[in-house]
Chain A
């Protein structure tokens, strides 16, 4: 056998040996990566998972408000297992509003949106924190954005009687508008016919969750002391 061929075969043999060793390591790394992705996905699912049913949940005819045309919402009665706890109940009806839309035309909250957090403060203020998709996937427009607000507001006030006003956050942050038009820097009235509870006074009839999110009240600026004269 020529000497060059022997050298080439030797090099080839060494390369195959190194490849086999590397392949084993590579296989192990792929396995670790897959486990890591699985853990991330599992964690994400746990965070975004619908509210768990509890032993206190009772089958109830919930009233959910979906779109009925371009500019209004209408109630649909749906049987849901709802908690007696207002916070859990609020989560359950909002998640049902997303998951159970009867048709694409009636859908109000985009299917991609998820409820990231839901709190009720002691004065009846609801803080509902949605994922970015609520903002990015809602069609831009005064009318189309207001339908989403009406759907959320009316569903909450019809199923969670203790709520008095609603603050919507996007991914934990206060944002200027829902999708370019409707103001999210303020609050929306809920159950406006019912007199507001005194600030800080817990309702005697229903338990409230301890506030775990800040009430995102915008900082105040004042107007100039007097409007400047119009240029003449």
Chain B
């Protein structure tokens, strides 16, 4: 059976780590798992092979999540989060920004240290973030026009193009209002990935 390019979907938090939580009972760990499942279906429809860092209420460590992604050749990594605040119904994409040059590898062929694994993919991650954010602004009105460079922990040790997408927010009126964003978000992220890493010969490459 032929499998398309690999996309690793990371639903943030889980288990004893709830992430952000609103006064209305919305908890980030549950909301992002729901978003990840809808996005998974959309990506599989386009022909991608999707791997989830969690598909239940477990809480893999950051290293476990990165290790899973790093076991695949040329994957794309997307970490999903929900904010505490912000305009409900908007979303922003982030790529990892390291501080200063690192003194780890001594030659171009040396493997980067685990904590710096994302560094060689900085430009690719920025490009992926741009493509995803362009799609988001088309469907989630009011979202920022550009992604932002932030040191999001879950991206740091991923040796692949990697972005985090944060949806606003747990302060939505109820779970249904937040879950209604899952469809537009899934189409946006999937199209951004398709523009970055097209599946040749299929409709997935068409933005």
State which residues 86-102 of B face A: CB under 8 Å: 86-87, 92, 94, 96, 98-100
Please pick, from A144, A185, A222, A227, the residue contacting B85 in the complex, using a CB distance under 8 A: A144
Are B111 and A225 within 8 A (Cβ)?
Answer: yes
- B117 on interface, CB distance cutoff 8 Å: yes
Chain B: interface residue total (CB-CB under 8 A): 50
Q: Chain B interface mostly helix, strand, loop or mixed?
A: loop
- Which residues of chain B have C-beta atoms less than 8 A from A180's C-beta? 12-13, 17, 19-20
Contact residues, B36-92 vs A (CB, 8 A): 49, 62, 70-75, 81-87, 92
CA distance A228 to B152 in the complex (A): 25
Name the residue on A nearest B113 (C-beta): A220
Number of A residues, CB within 8 Å of B:
37
The residues in A between 165 and 183 inclusive whose CB is less than 8 angstroms from any CB of B are: 165, 176-177, 180-183
Q: Are B114 and A183 in contact (CB under 8 A)?
A: no
Residue of B nearest to A232 (CB): B3
Contact A142 B81 (CB under 8 A): yes
Shortest Cβ gap from B163 to chain A (Å):
11
User: Which residue in A185, A221, A229 is a CB contact (below 8 Å) of B153?
Assistant: A185
A70 near B153: Cβ-Cβ < 8 Å: no
Counting chain A CB atoms within 10 Å of each CB, the highest count among B12, B99, B104 belongs to B99
B100 adjacent to A189 (CB under 8 Å)? yes
Is A230 interfacial (CB 8 A cutoff)? Answer: yes
Residues of B with C-beta under 8 A to A232: 2-3
B70 near A224 (CB under 8 angstroms)?
yes
Q: Are A139 and B3 in contact (CB under 8 A)?
A: no
Contact pick for A186, options B13, B19, B98, CB 8 Å = B98
Q: Mark A66-107, 1 if CB is under 8 A from B, else 0.
A: 000011000000000000000000000000000000000000
Q: Flag if B152 contacts A144 (CB, 8 Å).
A: no
On whether the beta carbons of B153 and A183 are closer than 8 Å, the reply is yes
Q: CB distance B73 to A223 under 8 Å?
A: no
A131: chain B residues within 8 A (beta carbon): none
Q: Is A208 an interface residue (CB 8 A)?
A: no
Whether the Cβ atoms of B153 and A187 lie closer than 8 Å is no
Identify which of residues 194-232 in chain A touch chain B, using a CB-to-CB cut-off of 8 Å: 196, 218, 220-225, 227-232
Residues of A within 8 A of B (CB): 70-71, 139-144, 146, 165, 176-177, 180-189, 192, 196, 218, 220-225, 227-232
Q: A146-B150, A177-B153 are in contact. List 15 more A-B contacts (CB 8 A).
A: A70-B85, A141-B86, A141-B169, A180-B17, A181-B154, A182-B150, A186-B156, A188-B151, A224-B70, A227-B72, A228-B71, A228-B72, A229-B73, A230-B3, A231-B3
Interface positions of B (Cβ within 8 A of A): 2-3, 6, 12-13, 17, 19-21, 28, 49, 62, 70-75, 81-87, 92, 94, 96, 98-100, 104, 111-115, 117, 144, 148, 150-154, 156, 159, 164, 166, 169
Q: List 16 A-B contacts (CB under 8 A).
A: A71-B144, A140-B21, A140-B84, A141-B20, A146-B150, A180-B13, A180-B19, A181-B164, A183-B156, A185-B153, A187-B99, A192-B100, A220-B104, A221-B114, A228-B73, A231-B3
